[in-house]
Each structure stands twice: as structure tokens, then as C-alpha cells.
Chain A
């Protein structure tokens, strides 16, 4: 024998193993390389239970393709079939879900239609679908039926079968014969009795005749009494007639009343008269609506309208003096308010004046002791408020940021802009912390980019309260249309 090296042995061994693996895989899976041959068709079934992908599609029991996909579409099972290229499926083929054998797998049978029908192309749809009774159910049903039939025949045979059964049948026939004979004899024997029965019956009818005659005579005897009764009935009906008469007389009046009410109603309906106009004119309704909504609006505004009065004093450390603010905040809406403020500033009001002395022009910043006024309009966006207008008797604006449910406010304001650049604008940044509903403290830095040495940290306290009386003072002014 050929002497093989270890390498050669391993090589042959591996080769055999791989060949077997490939062979089995091909045999079992039918792996095809490249594109799968054939064309696709679709079928829609009500129920595809038990059908797996790759189930076979058969025509006359011969596999012609496979079910490639089972999808759900509009609550129906949509099957995508891959049919071999050489097989022609006609348009009138019928698709049926079947089971091979009793326990076998499910497959799709395509039942051919007429041989002349055109065949389906790639992507075609098999529209004819038939449902067959489930094989198992059918078998169960047949088994039940068969066992019932069997029971019946069994009892029949046990009753009728064999010698005994025959004998009983003979007996029955014999008995029947006897019975008819007996009946015949009885009728013959009782012929006379029957005739007497008939005679008795005749007598009975004669007695009934007598009884009716007696009833008649009874009525004749009591004729008068009956008459009186009838008379009374007559009187009563007469009285009823009178009552009806009176009622008849009233009726036209009632009719008149009703008709006049009717005419009034009609007039109102047509829009005649004040009431009619009032009711029929659509503008009435609108006006009323408007009025009501106006009233509502007014009440709402009054409700919404809030006024606050506050005072705060801020101690300026560098100045060693207090700056006082008295303010009135009018808040017609939750996100909008007007602020009037009177400010007493120890540093006074500044003005830059141009002084010309002997041809040389110098600008001088002067301060004068007087109250300063602020008049601002503020609008609030969520936690941010922007305000602007006149701040401390000069144009300016401010930004406020609210935190912790409005308990803390950080404010920045800029005003007193001097466009000659002689002095910097007055900038102020500070915070306000509410201690409770009425009292608050403030702290910050005032005029912090001042050129004139006015910059100063400050610390202040103040209070604020809502004034109901002032509120009505403002809202009692005539309300303007919304």
C-alpha cells in the first residue's frame, strides 16, 4: 500500500469532510448560488395557519415552487411564492391550503383552471382562493357520524335479528289481527246500546227547550221593573246632554281666546310690535351677548387689575446717606405693569451744562436737589421682565429676572445716558429678596461705572402692599372696548 505522509493523510481527511459537508448541505437545503431561478406570484389567504416559509407549492401534487415569504396584509395572510420558470400558472388557477396525509406538513395546492387561460407573469396575483374543511375536523366529524350510525344499526339488529326477533315480529302481527277482530265484535254486540244512547240524547235536547221557554215567561213577568230601570237611564243621559250643551256654548269663547293668543304669537313671530322685534331681531341677541361679554370683561379686568404701593430705602455706603423710593405699581394683567416712582436721591439730579467763559467752552456737571420721577412700562415673559421708560427723570431701560417663585429678583437698569460722553450712563445692578408678603431687602451696586465717584454699594429694606381702594379708583374709569 502507498505510504502516505502525515500531511497527505490530514489533507485527504479534511477534503473528505468538506465534500461531505457541502454534499449534505446541498442535498438538504437546496442552496442555489447566485440569483434564485423562477418568478414570483402572490396569494392572499384568510388563514395560513400551519404554513411555514419554504413550504412547497404544488400543482397536481407535483412541487412547482416554494412559499418564500408569509406576510400579514390587511389582516390577511399574503404569501409570496417562487415558481419554477418552466411552470406556467394560469390566471384562473385556484389556491388551496392543504395538508399532506394526516399528520403531514401544510402546502399550497394550485388547482388548474381552463387550459386556454393566459398565464401569470412575474409579480402576478392568484386571485381565486378556496377554503377546504380542515382535514382533522372532517375526520372527527365523520368518525362521530359513523359511530352514531353504528349504534343505531346495532340496536336494530339486536331487536330484530335472530330467531327471537322473528318470533316477536310474528307475535306482533298476530296480536294486531286479534285486536281488529275484537273491535269488530264489540261494535256488533253494542249496536242496541248505541241506539238507546241516541234516544237519551233526544230527551236531553227537549229539556233544554223547556228551560228556554221558562226564561222567556220570567222576563215577561218583570217587564215593568225593567221599564223603570230603562227610564232612569234615559233621564241620566238627558242631563248629560244639557251639560254638553253648556260646554258647547263655552267652547267658542275658548276658541276665541286661543286664536287671539295664536295671533299674538304669530305677530311676535313675524316680528311685529316691540316684543316681536325684540325677540325676532338677531341684533338684539348680539347686542345682549356683547353687553354681557362686555360686563364680563369689565369684571374680569377689575378682578385681574392689581395695584401695589411700595416704599424702599437704600443705604448708599459711599455716600453715607439713604436713597428713598416711593412707588405705585399698577398691574392690569399678570404679565404687564406700569410703575410710577418718586425717588429722593441724596446725590441729586445731574445735568451737564456747557459753559462758555471767555471763549473757552467747558462742560460742567451740575447736581441739583430735587425729586426724581420714574414712569416705566414693564412686560414680563415667563421669568424675565423687560421694562423701560423714564427712570429717575431720564430715559432708560431695565431687565429683571425672577427666581424661586418670584421671591428673588435680580434687576439691572441703565439710564441717564449722556450722548456727549461726558459722563457714563447710570448703571445699577441689584437683587431684591422678599422676606414675606410685605417686607423685602435689597442689595447691590449703584452707578458702578460712574466717572464722578458716585459708585456705591447699597443695602436697603422696604415694604409693599396691595391696595384694593386704588384699584377701584383706576378701574372705575370707563372701560375701553377690548
Chain B
């Protein structure tokens, strides 16, 4: 019985500690964004890593999601003779939900795990401690560039995903399912607003922050050698994905 309570207490304390540390890191990282020297090269490197190198995987997921959405909604809408609504369905779901969320999930899997591993290895091999001894603030040197990269790259990746998704849906709808191309585009333009795209982009800002922050935190506080590094990578992905989905719900309920 006592053990049970102890465990519960420990869990609560850990949760609070983790949250607190995360916010501390966030506060420091954001603070250092505005403090020179800016180390642009460092930031650009991270942007390339998070953004450019995720492009392929994001295009792949985006186009296939759009295609499968078109196919599924066509089956459902055909029963009402409303095939013309396939375009809006695909475009709206991509712009509002699937674009930002899928992009964020893919980036977490690709870049988040890599970040956590990298930082974790640095921590385990005492490179971070070495930075301290060289009077270089590791948060500024390692974490700030990553968070800036996440914040700036995720929206752009999301826009690309949206676009590619609509193209994929168009391809399936028009060439495979014989929907009139004019109707497809026309309806899509009719139903989708600029706001829909902008909501998705706004969401992706938050997702970019969550991904990089969680990954950096997990890597930065790695303990326990090679095993710990592995655990950090896993945690970065799992916690990141869960937080993305939860915050997606919260953001949606606030925005719509």
C-alpha cells in the first residue's frame, strides 16, 4: 500500500519536474534567440536538417494522404451523387488537420529522434560539459538553433504538404475516378478559405515548437550511457507525437 502511494508520488513529482525543466529550457532558448552573437550558420544548418531533409518524406506522405482521401471520400460521396465534393473534402482536411499533423508527426519521427540522439550522445560523452568549461552556453549553442529551425520550417513543410495533398487528390479524382477536372478545382476553390490554410499554418508553428523542444529536452537530460541515448530517442518521438495530437485538439477547439 505504502509502495503504491510512493510510486504515485514519485510519478507526480517527476511529471512536475519534467514540465518545469522543459519550460525552463524553453524560456532560456527563447531568451537567447534575441541575444547576439546569433550564430546564423548554426541555425541554417538546423533548418536544413529539419526542413530540407524532411522534404522528401513529407511530400511522400502528403501526396499519398491526399490520394487515399480522394478515393475514400469518392466512395462515400458517390452514394449521394456528390462526387464534386471530393475536391473540397480533400483540400479542407489537408489544410485544416492532416497537413499540419502529418507533417509534424513525420518530422518528429525523422528529425526529433535524430536531435534527441545527437544531444543525448553529446551529453553522455560529456561534450555538453565540455561546452560549459569553454564558457559556451549549451542552450544557446545547441537548443536555440533547433527551436528556431522547428518554428520556421514546420509551417513551410505544412504548406508543401497541403499543396502536394491536393495535387494527389486531384490526380486520383480526375484521372482515376473520372471527376470533371473543372468541377474538382472549382468546388475546391469555392469551399476552401484562406483562413483554413492559415489555421493549419498557425497550428504548425506550435507543432514545430513542441517537436524541437521535446527532442532537445530529452537529449539534453539524457542519463545512463548508450542505453540512455536510445531511451531519449524513443521518448522524444513518443512524447512528441502524443503532445502534437493533444495540442492539435486544443488548438482546433480554440480556433474553430
Q: Which residues of A contact B193 (CB under 8 A)?
A: 28-29
Least Cβ distance of B89 to chain A in Å?
Answer: 13
A10 at the binding interface (Cβ < 8 Å)? yes
Chain A residue contacts of B122, Cβ below 8 A? none
B82: Cβ under 8 A from any A Cβ: yes
B159 touches A24 (CB 8 A): yes
Stretch at the interface among B12-20, B40-48, B205-213: B40-48
What band does the interface of chain A fall in when counting residues whose beta carbon is under 8 Å from B? 20 to 34
Select one of A9, A13, A16, A29 contacting B194, CB under 8 A.
A29
* Contact call A17/B48, Cβ cutoff below 8 A: no
Q: Does B189 contact A (CB under 8 A)?
A: yes
Residues of A8-58 at the interface with B, using a CB-CB cut-off of 8 Å, are 9-10, 13-14, 16-18, 20-21, 23-25, 27-31
Question: Are the C-beta atoms of A17 and B189 separated by less than 8 Å?
Answer: no
* B160 located at the interface, meaning its Cβ lies under 8 Å from any Cβ of chain A in the complex: yes
Interface residue? A105 (CB, 8 A): yes
Does the CB pair B162–A17 fall under 8 Å?
no
Q: Which residues of chain A come closer than 8 Å to B160, judged between CB atoms?
A: 16-17, 20
CA distance A30 to B188 in the complex (A): 13
User: Are B159 and A10 in contact (CB-based, < 8 A)?
Assistant: no
Q: How far is the CA of A103 from the CA of B48 in the complex (A)?
A: 47
- The reply to whether B82 and A17 form a contact with Cβ atoms under 8 Å apart is no
Known: A17-B156, A17-B157. A25 touches B197 (CB 8 A): yes
Does B80 interact with chain A (Cβ within 8 Å)? Answer: yes
Q: Please tell me if the beta carbons of B190 and A14 are within 8 angstroms of each other in the complex.
A: no
Given contacts A10-B52, A31-B194, contact A20 B45 (CB under 8 A): no
- Output the least CB separation between B46 and chain A (Å): 9
CB neighbours (8 Å) of A21 from chain B are 156, 159, 197, 201
Contacting pair A105 B190 (CB below 8 A): yes
- Quote the shortest CB–CB distance from B192 to chain A (angstroms): 5
Taking CB atoms, residues of chain A closer than 8 Å to B51 are 10, 13-14
Chain B hits for A18, CB < 8 A: 156
Q: What string of 1s and 0s marks CB contacts (under 8 Å) between B71-103 and chain A?
A: 000000000101000000001000000000000
Q: Report the minimum CB–CB distance from A11 to chain B (whole Å).
A: 9
Give the Cβ gap from B202 to chain A, nearest Cβ, in Å: 12
Q: Is the CB of B155 within 8 A of A17?
A: yes
- Tell me, in angstroms, the Cα distance from A103 to B192 when the chains sit together: 17
Interface residues on B, range: 20 to 34
* B189 contacts A28, C-beta separation under 8 Å: yes
Say how far B152's CB is from chain A's closest CB, in angstroms. Answer: 8
The residues of B that contact A25 with a CB separation of less than 8 Å are 194, 197
Q: How far is the CB of B19 from chain A (nearest CB, A)?
A: 32
Task: Kindly state whether residue A179 has any CB partner on chain B within 8 Å.
Answer: no
A102 smallest CB distance to B (angstroms):
8
Residues 181-223 (chain B) with a chain A CB within 8 angstroms = 188-190, 192-194, 196-197, 201
Q: Assess whether B163 is in contact with A28, with CB atoms less than 8 Å apart.
A: no
Given A16-B160, A18-B156, decide whether A28 and B80 contact each other with a Cβ distance below 8 A.
Answer: no
Question: When the two chains form their complex, are residues A28 and B156 in contact, meaning their CB atoms are under 8 A apart?
Answer: no
A366-396 contacts to B (CB < 8 Å): none
Q: How far is the CB of B184 from chain A (nearest CB, A)?
A: 13
Q: Do A13 and B190 touch across chains, with their CB atoms under 8 A apart? A: no
A21-B201, A24-B197, A28-B192 given; A7·B44 CB < 8 A: yes
Q: Is A6 an interface residue (CB 8 A)?
A: yes
**Do residues A17 and B159 form an inter-chain contact, with CB atoms below 8 A?**
yes
Nearest Cβ distance between residue A105 and chain B, in whole angstroms?
A: 7
| CB within 8 Å for A9 and B163 given contacts A21-B197, A21-B201, A28-B194 | no
CA distance A18 to B163 in the complex (A): 12
Q: Which of A7, A14, A17, A103 has the most CB of B within 10 A?
A: A17
| Nearest CB on B from A146, distance (A) | 19
Known contacts A6-B44, A25-B194, A29-B193; is A14 also within 8 Å of B82 by CB? Answer: no
Q: Which residues of chain A have C-beta atoms less than 8 A from B196's C-beta? A: 28
Interface: B55 (CB within 8 A): yes
Smallest CB–CB gap between B207 and chain A, Å? 15
**Distance of A24 Cα from B167 Cα, bound (Å):** 12
B55 and A13 form a contact (CB under 8 A)? yes
B199 to chain A, nearest CB (A): 13
Query: B159 to chain A: which residues have CB within 8 Å?
Result: 17, 20-21, 24
Residues of A172-194 whose CB lies within 8 A of B: none
Contact of A6 among B45, B197, B201 (CB under 8 A): B45
A9–B48 CB distance below 8 A:
yes
- Closest chain-A Cβ to B125's Cβ sits at a distance in Å of 25
Q: Closest A-chain residue to B53, C-beta based?
A: A9
Q: Fill in one digit per residue for B32-69: 1 if any A CB lies within 8 Å of its CB, else 0.
A: 00000000000011011001100100000000000000
Query: In the bound complex, how far is the Cα of B196 from the Cα of A81, in angstroms?
Result: 24
Can you name 11 extra interface pairs (CB under 8 A) apart from A10-B51, A28-B197? A6-B44, A9-B48, A13-B153, A14-B51, A18-B156, A20-B162, A24-B162, A25-B197, A28-B192, A28-B194, A105-B190
Could you write out 6 A-B pairs with CB less than 8 Å apart?
A13-B55, A13-B153, A14-B156, A20-B159, A21-B156, A28-B189
Q: Which residues of A contact B (CB under 8 A)?
A: 6-7, 9-10, 13-14, 16-18, 20-21, 23-25, 27-31, 103, 105
CB-based closest 5 A-B pairs: A17-B156, A29-B194, A6-B48, A21-B159, A10-B47
